[in-house]
Amino acid sequence: MQLSFEFFPPRTEKGKQNLKLVRQELTVVNPHYFSTTFGAGGTTQEATLETVLDIQANDNISAAPHLSCIDSDKLKILSLLKQYQAAGINRVVALRGDIPSGVRDIGDFHYANELVEFIRHEFGNYFHIEVAAYPEMHPQATNMNTDIEHFVNKIKAGADGAITQYFYNADAYFRFVDEVQKNGIDVPITPGIMPITNYDQLLRFSNMCGAEIPRWIEKRLSTYGDDLASLSAFGFDVVSNLCDQLKSQGVESFHFYSMNKTQPSLLLAQELK
Ligand code: FAD
């Protein structure tokens, strides 16, 4: 079983200390790698570099920086990748990113497949490249078929695997994997697992990224109000059942959106081991 955990780059000293502790606590499940998100348009880019260099230097676990190409150019991306290579980092999550509001010139890259091609062209097979997958369709895609075609293009451009947007409906994941396989693609598509601990935040994220919260789950979550313990217990049950379902049907890798917290990702991961 391959387990990976995603962090966002902390910017305060307190956040940095907290993340060090979280990383240490998560090592008990022997993670395959720790990934760190990257803000389009420069917002968290320095912090991403700092976080991944710290992971690579101090944890005995591979660091995988996310890298979004929108609003960037080939020189900047090349320079960043060279810094990663110099630090011994050989895994990246290659993304388009979201177009920052007000930006007119989106730079040298339009879509993630162009970034994958660029990395392969410049670095050959040095980097292991993951890309994003959307079992419930990317929110800007016109339909599922073209979205799958675009996904297939990213793999054909040289990606080694994919991590999905989070979902709470295992059927959407399995159908997506089936359809991708029908296109002759057989790379690992790792489900992204989002623990449920905060109703408002989950609604906000889901509205932005197009991940569906099934009605029955949303109705239940909405009844807990300030009772965070009951909400978390219910959320844990839902996500733990989802992981069981995925594992029982042969899924062998899981990526946790940890939100820089040890729990409940650690407990969910321990159940899978
Ligand atoms: P793409 O694969 O380029 O697809 C974007 C859209 O364009 C899709 O609708 C696709 O169908 C369409 N498309 C692709 N190619 C073409 C084409 N040739 N012609 C027309 N349409 C096309 N965002 C961040 O900013 N930082 C992060 O660290 C980050 N990490 C993420 C990690 C994961 C696992 C996931 C699932 C998402 C992450 N995101 C992150 C969000 C992601 O950047 C957004 O969802 C973004 O809108 C799309 O990025 P992509 O790489 O999937 O884009």
Q: Which residue has the tokens 């011994």?
A: 88
- What pLDDT sits at residue 238? 98
DSSP string, 84-115: HHHTT--EEEEE--PPPTT----BS-SSHHHH
pTM: 0.97
Q: Is residue 156 within 6 Å of ligand 1 at its C-beta?
A: no
Question: For ligand 1, is residue 141 a contact (CB within 6 Å)?
Answer: yes
Whether ligand 1 lies within 6 angstroms of the CB of 6 is answered as: no
pLDDT at residue 42 in the model: 58
pLDDT along the chain (273 residues), means of 10: 97 96 98 92 80 96 97 95 98 92 84 98 98 97 97 98 98 98 97 97 94 97 96 98 98 98 98 93
Ligand 1 contact via 37 beta carbon (within 6 Å): yes
CA 78 to chain CA centroid, Å, is 22
How far apart (Å, rounded) are the C-alpha atoms in residues 9 and 248?
Answer: 33
Q: How far is the CA of 40 from the centre of ligand 1 (A)?
A: 11
- SS3 call for 115: helix
Atom 28 of ligand 1, residue of closest alpha carbon: 37
C-beta of 162 in contact with ligand 1 (< 6 A): no
pLDDT at res. 104: 75
User: Residue 34 pairs with which residues in a beta bridge?
Assistant: 5, 63
* Residue owning the nearest CA to atom 29 of ligand 1: 37
6 is catalytic: yes
Q: What is the per-residue pLDDT for 220? A: 97
User: Which is the catalytic residue, given 6, 114, 130, 136?
Assistant: 6
pLDDT at 102: 77
Residue 40's pLDDT is what? 57
By most ligand atoms within 8 Å of CB, the mutation choice from 36, 150, 205, 253 for ligand 1 is 150
Contact (CB, 8 A) for 51 and 70:
no
Q: Which domains does the chain have, with CATH numbers?
A: 2-272 (3.20.20.220)
Rg over CA atoms, the chain: 18
The three-class DSSP label of residue 84 is helix
pLDDT per position as a tens digit, 155-168:
999 999 999 999 99
Hey, whose CA ends up nearest to atom 42 of ligand 1? 97
Packing angle, helices 228-248 and 215-223, rounded to 10: 160
- The CA 268 to ligand 1 mean position distance, Å, reads 27
